[in-house]
A and B are shown apart, each in its own frame.
Chain A
Amino acid sequence: AQSVTQLDSHVSVSEGTPVLLRCNYSSSYSPSLFWYVQHPNKGLQLLLKYTSAATLVKGINGFEAEFKKSETSFHLTKPSAHMSDAAEYFCVVSEKSGGYNKLIFGAGTRLAVHP
């Protein structure tokens, strides 16, 4: 079975400093991986996805993630945090099941951005 571990439940950064949210996955085959963001009282929004093309994936709002098979990692980064980045972030692996893709979510990392 596939699984996702987000290594930090909370991350706090200052505005303008880099962001690193860590994610490790477990998969028996080449996975599809996603990062979703959830702002308070809003739906989950897709930030970026990896589907076996380029290992460095660029997403919206300046976020990037790098797929490292040898480390089974898919960490999310951003060079410079903005106050508006404060939210809950979920690393997600997609598991093929009966012809569709079931999403397996990590427990989430809450990002706080301080002025």
Chain B
Amino acid sequence: DTGVSQDPRHKITKRGQNVTFRCDPISEHNRLYWYRQTLGQGPEFLTYFQNEAQLEKSRLLSDRFSAERPKGSFSTLEIQRTEQGDSAMYLCASSSQTVREQYFGPGTRLTVT
């Protein structure tokens, strides 16, 4: 296991379409995070999972966004009825129970046209 992976790396979609991204964390990590990074800004926290439980959601996560981690391993982030303002890099990170640092994946760059 070489790190956190995300798929796809790039996604171009038309406004109004639904998109789904996948994140595979480091295998022994039980904590998983999603962040969003817009151009020229630092990443902003979206949501956090401990095992399969979603324990916190940012106010940035509107009702068009949903995240799951059904078996406590990989996670998906779905955006329904995409808007141009959703264009951003979506980053996934994972960490273990005992170590504070989070390890990031390469991100999925979403472009909504």
Contacts and interface: CB of A to CB of B under 8 A. Distances in A.
B44 A32 contact: no
A38 to B, nearest CB: 9
Chain A interface: which size bin? 20 to 34
Contacts of A49: 100-101
B41 A43 contact: no
B56 interface: yes
B107 interface: yes
A99 B48 CA distance: 11
B45 interface: yes
Interface string A80-106: 000000000010101001111111111
Q: Is the interface of A mostly helix, strand, loop or mixed?
A: strand
B42 interface: yes
Contacts of A100: 31, 48, 50, 55-56
Interface in A17-73: 32, 34, 36, 41-46, 49, 51
A33 B83 CA distance: 34
B107 to A, nearest CB: 6
Interface of A: 32, 34, 36, 41-46, 49, 51, 90, 92, 94, 97-108
